[in-house]
Amino acid sequence: MTGQEVAFLLLAVVGGLAGLLVVTSRNIVHAALYLVVALASVAGVYLLLAAPFVAFVQVIIYVGAIVVLILFGIMLTRAPVGRRVLDNTLRARVGAFVIGLGLFTMLTWFMADAWAGKRITGHAVTATAALGTSLFRNYVLPFEAVSILLLAALIGAIVLARRD
């Protein structure tokens, strides 16, 4: 068990537990904070998978902007607290649990069938320069499309949330 695997298992346990607590917590603010832990552990996993730039983008945008946006949304919608308000009926929750468990089993089964025994080898960390070259040379069209999408989302959010 290499050091990389030990580190990954720690991050995966923490991140998985945090993800589970996001969807089962009774307090919505706690759920948002557990989301921070889950997203930060995913950033750690990116570092272990030799993707430092994606890890930094994850922390800056997800933890730094999206979670803050979610917390503002919780604040502005008068964060309701309590099992009855936050969760669906018991029947719906049992059904959702069955679906989630079935999905996880099915995905793991198929993935183990296809990629059991394959290993991620090599320690070459992806240089940000290489990522930038690829982004602006090979994927410049999706990049421009995403820029326009972000502009549209920005204008749309301002128009929607305007008080008039």
Enumerate residues 93-152 that contact other proteins by CB under 8 A: 93, 95-97, 99-101, 103-104, 107-108, 111-112, 115-120, 122, 124, 126, 130-131, 134-135, 138-139, 142-143, 146, 149-150, 152
Q: Look at residue 140 and give its three-state secondary structure.
A: helix
Q: Which of residues 53-92 bind other proteins (CB under 8 A)?
A: 53-54, 57-58, 61-62, 65-66, 69-70, 72-74, 76-78, 80, 85-88, 92
Q: How far apart are CA 45 and CA 19, in angstroms?
A: 14
The amino acid at residue 72 is F
Q: Are 50 and 124 in contact (CB under 8 A)?
A: yes
Q: Which of residues 35-54 bind other proteins (CB under 8 A)?
A: 35, 38-39, 42, 45-46, 48-51, 53-54
Say how many residues touch other proteins, by CB under 8 A.
88
Q: What DSSP designation does 51 have? A: -
Residue 30 near other proteins by CB under 8 A? no
Q: Which of residues 7-26 bind other proteins (CB under 8 A)?
A: 8-9, 12, 15-16, 19-20, 22-23
Helix (H) or strand (E) holding 14: helix 3-24
* Phi, psi at 98, each rounded to 5°: -65, -45
